[in-house]
Amino acid sequence: MAGVALVALTGCVPGFGAARFAQRSLRALVSPARPAPMHAAQPFRRDARLAVTWIGHATALIQMDDVVILTDPVFTERVGGLSARLVEPGLRVAELPPIDVALVSHMHFDHLSFDSLRRIASRTRTLLLPAGGGDYVHAYSFDEVELAPWQRWTRGDLKVTAVPVKHVGWRFGIDALWHPHTFTGYVIQHRGLTVYFGGDSALDLVDLRAVHARFPKIDLALLPIGPIAPRHFMAHTHMDPAEALRALRILDAARMVPIHYGTFVNSGDEPGDVVRALRAALDAQPDLRGRVTRLQIGEQRVFMGR
């Protein structure tokens, strides 16, 4: 079970220590208490044009004027049956406003959570998935739409475009035979605002430059910065903080919010390793400090007011 969960959480062959992974996960599962997250008093802000609440891992609530987008919805206490949540979700499902569209970047257990989709179904209008993702998702009340790379979904002033990233999209390993490319990033546009959601990705200069060429004005990029260890495994599927800053430069986004760290046991990282690596990367590139906003789980930031 540890090996299966490890593969599905990291996208890597379980060669860096499944036993250590299982041991750390077990400690988290039996921990008597988890840190409480910060709490956004107003999940929907009437005074905001662009706001983000980090719920944890790759789950974020994005508000663009009157539109609400939820990324990679995961609200369960564990993923993959083994990896425990280290910090409670930054918002409870009951606190969510109505969701115009939810985005799923790929099929791994820590990004596609069936139980979480069931919990949010009554307040979600549409779910967008990468091409082939609909084969995994059935019997929910919301509309399900698959998007191939560069394909766009539109409703009114809201536009969501699937964009290429470098990752893997299968869920169980064997399904890579028939779903080798079930993963994506997204660019969200609404009334002159543009947000990039990287989901989960390694650094790919060609993909990032292609996104920038098509979307030269990005107001905010949500970029993954972990897991980071062991690097010889993770570099194939995950950016580290220094690589995420390089992605920020290529996208030329006005602001960046780091995601995909500090929420689940899913690698060889020790607590705090990713944050320390981010601080070191920013120390080496101090001109980016004003463009990177590191949120606490549950913290909300208004980037543009009305």
CA proximity to 135, closest of 100, 195, 178, 97? 178
* C-alpha triplet 146, 150, 154: angle, nearest 5°: 60
Report the pLDDT averaged over residues 38-53: 91
Look at residue 298 and tell me whether its pLDDT is greater than 60: yes
Look at residue 6 and tell me whether its pLDDT is greater than 80: no
**Percent above pLDDT 70 for the chain:** 89
- CA 267 to CA 228: how far, in whole Å? 8
Look at residue 170 and tell me whether its pLDDT is greater than 90: no
Q: Does the N-terminal peptide bond of residue 180 adopt cis geometry, omega within 30 degrees of 0?
A: no
Fold of 2-305: Metallo-beta-lactamase; Chain A (3.60.15)
Report the pLDDT averaged over residues 178-186: 93
CA proximity to 272, closest of 223, 224, 228, 221? 228
SS3 190: strand
Query: Are 110 and 13 within 8 A, CB to CB?
Result: no
CA proximity to 111, closest of 238, 26, 1, 215? 238
Look at residue 270 and tell me whether its pLDDT is greater than 60: yes
Q: Is the dihedral of CA 60, 62, 68, 69 positive or negative?
A: negative
Report the pLDDT averaged over residues 120-148: 94
- CA 127 to CA 7: how far, in whole Å? 25
Q: Assign 13 a pLDDT band (cuts: 50, 70, 90).
A: very low
- CA 87 to CA 68: how far, in whole Å? 24
Q: Assign 5 a pLDDT band (cuts: 50, 70, 90).
A: very low
Single-letter residue type at 93: V
Looking at residue 22, its pLDDT comes to 58
Q: Which of 22-36, 228-242, 280-294 has the lowest mean pLDDT?
A: 22-36
In 10 A of CB 121, how many CB atoms? 15
- CA 16 to CA 7: how far, in whole Å? 11
CA proximity to 277, closest of 236, 231, 215? 231
Q: Which of 155-169, 231-245, 249-263 has the lowest mean pLDDT?
A: 231-245
Query: Are 258 and 233 within 8 A, CB to CB?
Result: no
Give the distance from CA 92 to its chain's centroid. Answer: 17
Structure pTM?
A: 0.92
Please give the C-alpha separations between residue 119 and each of 76, 78, 124, 235, in angstroms, as whole numbers.
10, 15, 10, 33
Q: Which of 33-37, 75-79, 157-161, 297-301 has the lowest mean pLDDT?
A: 33-37
Look at residue 68 and tell me whether its pLDDT is greater than 60: yes
